[in-house]
Structure 1
């Protein structure tokens, strides 16, 4: 596995699976050499043999040729280990099965071909045909809302509430589709009553599901229902290989569902529809603002709570709330209650879920923050979670990343670990590593 020129190599009867291209597309790493990738995922490295001495090793003794053979075997073995570790083949096979496209398409083409395949499959069931649209580009539309952050260092728990599958759930809840879109004057022309259609926040009109169920909502319902079944089977399954297959399947279904919105918003695409994409983001902006208003209006001292809640930051599908409580357990309890209460104000299947608590939390600016991540009320954090700052960015030198990591260590862990009796780690763990144990 190594860098090569961007050429397409066709071999009849074979699927060319270039692991490097998969890694470049799916993972953000500082380096994509075999050595760096193997160490990142496997904590293993290849044999250190310089290219200039390969001839001498071959022409030398049995021991030098043995070293050369180990070098070659390791270079072959590590990519196979990576394929197994990352479940690339399993995941892509499940994606091909779910979307109905050849495996080779998933490796060489983008997201649109998968949505087109599913759209054609669903349209065929209703005896509909899909038009061919010439891509010419188009006007931009407003994206997601980012609530202005209240920057600072928070030495109290911050509860994070997230909308589950936000854009797919919006499309299903409001029946947004090519087949349900009403053009200007259509309600009067077809004699539709006001209760037969909706007007989106961007002023576009769509008929309700009671009049006609859209193709896109049906595709999304099928994908998310299948993902729910796969996750349920995954919980029951004990065979390791079958668990890998099921996990690959649920991941494929998730990616496929999330790509449907992007398909409608791709102005240079197979079937762009500005009315759908701008309506989805319009509903999303409206929901984030409403969530902020609901949380801050209910969780107040006047309503019997210990403090007035404040949404300190919000971005696309999540809000981060300062609830004024002192412990992680209290923040989780109120966070779960708030998520359920806010969800009741939205049309199903839109659902707000409690995800995590940050404590302490450093909010630097939009899309730049760090905090200790708690997923349970145990007195130990899962990891140090960093977003958009130099410890995770790849456009700087290691010195900067190490300096910022040390600063975060002192601010987020050292400052709290000893006074509260937490487990102490000399260096910050990378995101996703195992938690330390409380003595």
Structure 2
């Protein structure tokens, strides 16, 4: 018997002799090792009812192909169901793949619970283990070329830092004459690879050799994490298809198994496959989630190439392969640097919610909260409810109508972690909800939902634990050098804790949540509305003007006071609010100038010169780059120059530039993503029609592709006049020329009336301007702006 310690990276299972065996993929100072645990069995619960016995369950037989499925054994025990003790059957299966059929059969007799938890994740929860954290294993060493052990006992060994992981980034380029490459016919010509200081741009006309060299690179580098950008939906399926055609084995698993597709997702044994596009879609505030856009947003963008993706075929076939290789290197470097920026927080999320990194990055916030709840529920002996299909809507936060015009010297007050604080203060949790009479309850204003004051609810315990952990971390951080590695690690931990904590309220109102509770969500927002209204009332009593209030913040000013004088008045307000409410209130931001357009939409210039924009950013796919830029500049002119008339004149100038042909074609292109095949759309939207037109010329867009189009002059609706940008060869400022030499007029009036004017009118109408005034020369006096 030996004891080994290391980091747990991943958990899965294999089948040996008809039995599921857990595999724990770990890393220590010597490298990777795998530990096999044969002692764990799949199981689920059923809540007991009169008339159904353990023998009845044991007698269940389900015919499946050539085997008969039945329970391995049934235990009678107790568990908590929303805090109340209930009697349950714990039903063991012979194999995880038997659970779905047993769940179905038992479900006809009793209410089944926790039958949908993946086997390996059930193991992590029950054994109190967490991926990306330490592990100690009592084991027996196995013989063989790969270091492995048979588990006798296992326990978590908490660590403060993260494991040193070897990351490999890759990106593919295909040779396609037009449009999106087709794996049935278009070869892979380049696979660029980066890991640490190592770079290789694998390329050539012999595709089979390119694929074999890529497989060898993965084996030689032996990465713990493989990252790409949209590789789950594009690169991996493409590589797999081409490898099958060319008889190349993709045996890149650490057990030398081949790349597998499970549930539409790639799985590589012993390696964590992370699609950075998944993270970007959920957490990066960029309209078009192209690789270079995300890299630029994160401040890691690398620019090496002087060609675009559509130019690859032309340059490759004409012999200018260096241009293609520069493009490929640029993509892989951007991918690698994005990974360095985004992965650390997800390491911490993986540790907190236990499951492997690749699944963490595919989870939305609701699911991340749910995995945390699952592990905490197990510790408390609490049964997890079954997932829901839908929920009812409830009233949200209270919003004060924003004051018109431009305001100077404004302070925003933030109710720090308002909803978590409310849930803790009033013990809001599914298991504390009382229906009917209650003598010792917190009663929510407006909605009247009641929650027991004692004992502490399931949610309150977890929230308090998360908040206390974060408070301890921030206390330690104050004593550390901001540039130190220890400070950086703790900052990732506290940011992760904050994200999870603030997601709890939203989770209770998420219709698919296991612990969905409409009353919890309604009560939380009701108390939130109550406190916002009360705060505004107290502020007015102290002589402050409340310009706007929304969810967990209010904006205040006082005429005649500069920012320093206003700060003193606001501190008095904070003191008063803290006496009246169980919520921490802090100064969030000082604005030297700010304007409000409508609820949840405003823009401000901070005292230190930053522009903060909320709700006004043109992000949707039906706005072109020109519209985005014009709106951004209008906001900046109003805030910095305090001159709306100057902003109007700027818009007029842009309109003149459109009319005179001075705007490049790139600024007119509208991008929108395909969520299904064009033929599957019921409503033929503009980008769908553009994709169908491109298909006639051999350019095929796959699901998830961004379709670019411009709007031409002519008859019919916008879709009829949408022209795919991939077919544009030239533009003279007035007309486009397509790949066949045909000439079409751009509809400039459409861009003026339906792109530029709408995005600026959202702002300028709040300063008294009409659309005709923006297009014309009528002047306004400055008195209208204040």
Rounded to whole Å, the distance in 2 between the matches of 1:144 and 1:395 is 29
Cα contact 2:429–2:457 (8 A) shared by 1: yes
> Could you tell me which of 421, 427, 432 is aligned with 1:169?
421
Secondary structure at 1:77 match in 2: helix
Q: Does residue 605 of structure 2 align to residue 372 of structure 1?
A: yes
Q: Which has the higher helix share?
A: 1
Q: 1:178 aligns with which of 414, 417, 430?
A: 430
Shift of the 390–110 alpha-carbon distance from structure 1 to 2, 3 Å rule, reads closer
Does residue 81 (structure 1) correspond to residue 337 (structure 2)? The answer is yes
Change (3 A) 1:48 1:37: farther
Q: Verify the 8 A CA contact 1:83 1:89 in the aligned structure 2.
A: yes
| TM-score when normalising by structure 1 | 0.80
- Once residues 247 and 204 of structure 1 are traced to their aligned partners in structure 2, the CA distance between those partners, rounded to angstroms, is 37
Q: Which residue of 1 aligns with 2:472?
A: 229
Residues 318-333 of structure 1: matches in 2 within 5 Å? 318-333=553-568
Aligned residue in 1 for 2:71: none
Number of the residue aligned with 1:304:
none
- Corresponding residue of 2:391: 138
Q: Are the equivalent residues in 2 in contact too, given 1:135–1:267 (CA < 8 A)?
A: yes
Contact in 2 for aligned 1:331/1:357 (Cα 8 Å): no
Contact 2:266 2:273 in 1 (8 A): yes
> Deviations for 1:11-64, whole angstroms, at most 9, x for unmatched residues?
11111111122112111213322333333322532412331244347xx5xxx5
1:52 and 2:307 are equivalent in the alignment: no
Once the two structures are superposed, residues 336-386 of structure 1 have per-residue CA deviations (whole angstroms, 9 ceiling, x without a partner) of 331232121012xx1111112222221221122112112xxxxxx330112
Deviates more, 1:315-324 or 1:72-81: 72-81
Residue 312 of structure 1 aligns with which residue? 547
Return the match for 1:410 from 637, 659, 662: 637
Question: Does the Cα contact within 8 Å between 2:305 and 2:326 map onto a contact in 1?
Answer: yes
Residues 364 and 223 (structure 1), Cα distance of their counterparts in 2 relative to 1, 3 Å cut: same
In structure 2, the partner of 1:255 is 499
SS in 2 for 1:361: strand
Aligned residues: 380
TM-score by length of 2: 0.46
Contact 2:292 2:301 (C-alpha < 8 Å) held by counterparts: no
- 1:356-367 superposed matches below 5 A: 356-367=589-600
Matched residue SS, 2:586: strand
CA distance, structure 2, for counterparts of residue 354 and residue 391 of structure 1: 28
Normalized per residue, the structure richer in strand is: 2
For residues 511 and 618 of structure 2, the distance between their equivalents in structure 1, rounded to whole angstroms, comes to 34
| Structure showing greater relative contact order (alpha-carbon pairs closer than 8 Å, 6 or more residues apart) | 1
Query: 1:99 aligns to what?
Result: 353
Q: Which residue of 1 aligns with 2:150?
A: none
Q: What are the ranges of 5 or more consecutive residues in structure 2 without an aligned counterpart? A: 1-227, 235-263, 644-786
CA distance in 2, matches of 1:131, 1:75: 43
Aligned mates of 2:345, 2:276 — CA distance in 1 = 13
Change (3 A) 1:68 1:400: closer
Q: Distance in 2 between matches of 1:103 and 1:39?
A: 24
Residues in 1 aligned to 2:621 and 2:548: alpha-carbon distance in whole angstroms: 25
How much does 1:163 deviate? 0.4
Any gaps of 5 or more consecutive residues in structure 1? 188-193, 301-308, 375-380, 417-439
Measure, in 2, the Cα distance between the counterparts of 1:278 and 1:29.
31
Q: Contact conserved, 1:47 with 1:70, CA < 8 A, in 2? A: yes
- In 2, Cα distance between the equivalents of 1:95 and 1:390? 29
Partner of 1:123: 377
